[in-house]
Amino acid sequence: MSTIEAHDLAAGYGRVQILHDVSLRAAAGEVTCVFGPNGCGKSTLLKAMVGAIRPWSGTVTLDGEDITSLASHETLRRGVALMPQNGGIFPELTVIENLRMGGYILKSRKDLNERIEELLDEFPRLRERRGVNAGSLSGGEQMMVAIARALLLRPQFLLFDEPSAGLSPKLVGDVLKRAAALAERGVGVVMIEQNIREAMQVADRMYVLAAGRNRFEGTPADISDDRELMHLYLGIGKREEGTT
């Protein structure tokens, strides 16, 4: 089975170190969730994994091959894509233009158009809005654009940085269901999430980071057993402790 792994990654911005020897392993066909308080290095971890920032030390491997020093367009070619926080859509490009950008590295225009058509079949709402500037769409639609755009290259691993940020509870459910569906199709999904209870329903594997270090690693069942962790880092369960 295909895997992407981070080993002992250290990274930061300027002189400020954010990640301290963080490791993560994600497999194709699974949903791997990353939790942790704000500022604990989750986004930095994903960026370092795709080569958007260069880690100070540590390695990233894809199926055992070292991809640490590859730039993001090269990891993209190898099937590892990152959807940045808030989707990273281009607000003044139309929906179609946004999707085209998703396939920027494709050589064949015909191939690109076919894939865009496929995605518009999968996201009928986007077909209706294809000529509209993405910035004027609703939050949920913008996220749909971002997800569709990330799928265009049919990545083997898709790293989502808070795909449900700012969405209504119903849409959060939709996004998580879509992530689970992607995993069923064989994609390895790595997801930073704040909606912990909902995410635990779809996650196969979970990581908790705290202050730039690995704090926990295991299945959703494992984490439910760790009451201290649930309470301290994830803010869950203090009240429920008495009742269960």
Partner 1 sequence: MEGLAQALVTGILIGGLYVAISVGFSLAFGVLDVVDLAVGMWVVLGAYAGVKAHDWFGVDPFIFLPVTFVVFGLFGWLLGPLIYRVRTSRYALPALMGLAFTFGVATLIRGGMLTVFGYTPRTVQTDIVSGSWSLFGIVMPAIRVVGFLFAVIAVAAFLFFLYFTRTGLAVRAVAQNKESAGLMGVDVKRISSLVYAIYTGLTAMAGMLMGAVYSMTPELGLRYTLFAFFVVVLAGLGSVLGVLVAGLFLGILQALTTTYVGADYTLMTVFVVLFVILLVLPQGVSKFAKAVRT
Binding site for partner 1 (CB under 8 A): 13-14, 50, 52, 72-73, 76-77, 81-82, 84, 88-93, 97, 100-102, 104-105, 149
Nearest residue (CB) to partner 1, 153 versus 200: 153
User: What is the sign, positive or negative, of the torsion defined by CA atoms of 103, 109, 111, 116?
Assistant: positive
Of the two residues 14 and 124, which places its CB atom closer to partner 1 in the complex?
A: 14
Residue (62 or 82) nearer to partner 1, CB: 82
Instruction: In angstroms, give the least distance from the CB of 99 to partner 1.
Output: 11
Tell me how far, at minimum, the Cβ of 201 lies from partner 1, in Å: 28
Give min distance, CB of 159 to partner 1, in A.
10
With beta carbons less than 8 A apart as the criterion, state whether 129 and 137 touch.
yes
User: Is 174 exposed, middle or buried (CB count within 10 Å of its CB: 0-12, 13-18, 19+)?
Assistant: middle
Q: How far is the CB of 105 from partner 1 (least distance, A)?
A: 4
Beta carbon nearer to partner 1, 2 or 72: 72
Tell the smallest beta-carbon distance from residue 86 to partner 1 (Å): 9
Q: Which is nearer to partner 1, 91 or 169 (CB)?
A: 91
